[in-house]
Amino acid sequence: MLLPLLTVLPVFALIFSGWLARRLNMLGAAATSELNRFVVYLGLPALLFDVTATAKPEEIWQPGFILAFGIPALLVFGVTVALRRLSGRPLADSAIDGLATGYANTGYMGFPLALAVFGHQGLALTLIASIVTICLLFAVGIAVLETGLQDGSRGAALVGKVVVKLMRNPIVVAPALGAFFPITGVALPDVAAQYLKLLGGAASPCALVALGLFLAADHGRAPRGQNATAAVFIAAKLLVQPVLTYILAVWVLRLEPLTAHCAVLIAALPTGTGPFMLAEFYNREAALTARVVLVSTIVSLLTVTLYLGLIR
């Protein structure tokens, strides 16, 4: 229990810092949106560019791990989107709900946990999981979200509008541009690398502070059924996704134990701040996503600890 608790304490500290800053009026009502805009337009694109530009192809090309981790994440995302659409929820909001059930907190929790449990090999695998989560799953979520916002367009016109929107989205463009370096073998200049690390390093802390700012605001009573919906999302993230990952990694793909357990551990991590960031940025319903991020982080202390106990 101590290891997950020590890992997650900085996450809660950053969320609490944002909450306290808003409660004490150190930051105003517009701070959530403005801080979130910084993450979307500067911090996260720099982080994504840096991750892809400095990735070593021989380290990240592990198809077994990619399939074991990526397929369950995309499956949980897709099923959630489909079920939410069947319940009458708009496609744009359904896309955010899908990310809430499939988007793991690989950055703040994944790297320190993997290093402590699996050593250096765990770090390499967590980097792969981060690329799959942020560059693939997140991009798919944004594409579905943008599709839902293009009311009235169909066929080629719809595809054209969505493509244009995606090409203007820095979160999608940044990793695509960063991939130029590992593909060509060109080294990223040291000055550029330092700049990207400084700017990209602010993305996760700012997103967590923005979450705290949002939670401190008065949003009124939660809509009827929101708590039950949040509970289902949290169960999908913390139980369904890691179980599917275990089945695929151990029984189907028969990966070596360290690789399989690392995939399951990362899949069992709570929801990251990405879905909340998108909900707030696109002016969608952010309260549900914020609740899932916060509560799943708390509950994951128990579920992650139980899994670590089993594999040890």
Percent of the chain topping pLDDT 70: 96
Q: Which region holds residue 27: left if phi is over 0, alpha if psi is between -120 and 50, else beta?
A: beta
Phi, psi for 189 (deg, rounded to 5): -55, 145
Which domains can be identified in the chain, with CATH numbers? 2-216+227-311 (1.20.1530)
Q: What is the mean pLDDT of residues 27-33?
A: 90
Q: What is the mean pLDDT of residues 168-175?
A: 88
User: What is the structure's pLDDT at 220?
Assistant: 59
- Asked whether the predicted pLDDT for residue 67 surpasses 90, the reply is yes
Question: Mind listing the pLDDT tens digit for each residue in 92-122?
Answer: 999 999 999 999 999 878 888 888 888 888 8
- Asked whether the predicted pLDDT for residue 160 surpasses 90, the reply is no
**Mean pLDDT (the chain, rounded):** 90
User: What is the structure's pLDDT at 7?
Assistant: 78
- Asked whether the predicted pLDDT for residue 141 surpasses 80, the reply is yes
Q: Could you tell me if 300 and 268 are in contact, meaning their C-beta atoms sit under 8 angstroms apart?
A: yes
User: What is the structure's pLDDT at 163?
Assistant: 80
User: What is the structure's pLDDT at 308?
Assistant: 87
Least confident of 89-103, 165-179, 284-298: 165-179
The confidence band for 177, taking pLDDT boundaries of 50, 70 and 90, is very high
User: What is the structure's pLDDT at 274?
Assistant: 92
Q: What is the mean pLDDT of residues 288-302?
A: 92
Structure tokens, 243: 């179980």
- Asked whether the predicted pLDDT for residue 271 surpasses 90, the reply is yes
Q: How far apart are the first and last CA of the chain?
A: 13
Q: What is the mean pLDDT of residues 222-227?
A: 78
- Asked whether the predicted pLDDT for residue 156 surpasses 90, the reply is no
Q: What is the DSSP string of the chain?
A: -HHHHHHHHHHHHHHHHHHHHHHTTSS-TTHHHHHHHHIIIIIHHHHHHHHHHS--HHHH--HHHHHHHHHHHHHHHHHHHHHHHHTT--HHHHHHHHHHHH-B-IIIIIHHHHHHHHTHHHHHHHHHHHIIIIIIIHHHHHHHHHHHH-TT--HHHHHHHHHHHHHT-HHHHHHHHHTHHHHHTPPPPHHHHHHHHHHHTTHHHHHHHHHHHHHHS---SPPTTHHHHHHHHHHIIIIIHHHHHHIIIIIIS---HHHHHHHHHHHTSPB-SHHHHHHHHTT---HHHHHHHHHHHHHHHHHHHHHHHHH-
- Asked whether the predicted pLDDT for residue 37 surpasses 70, the reply is yes
Three-state SS annotation for 152-168: CCCHHHHHHHHHHHHHC
User: What is the structure's pLDDT at 154?
Assistant: 67
Least confident of 27-36, 40-49, 146-155, 164-173: 146-155
User: What is the structure's pLDDT at 221?
Assistant: 66
Least confident of 20-24, 98-102, 215-219, 227-231: 215-219
Cα gap 298→293, rounded to integer Å: 9
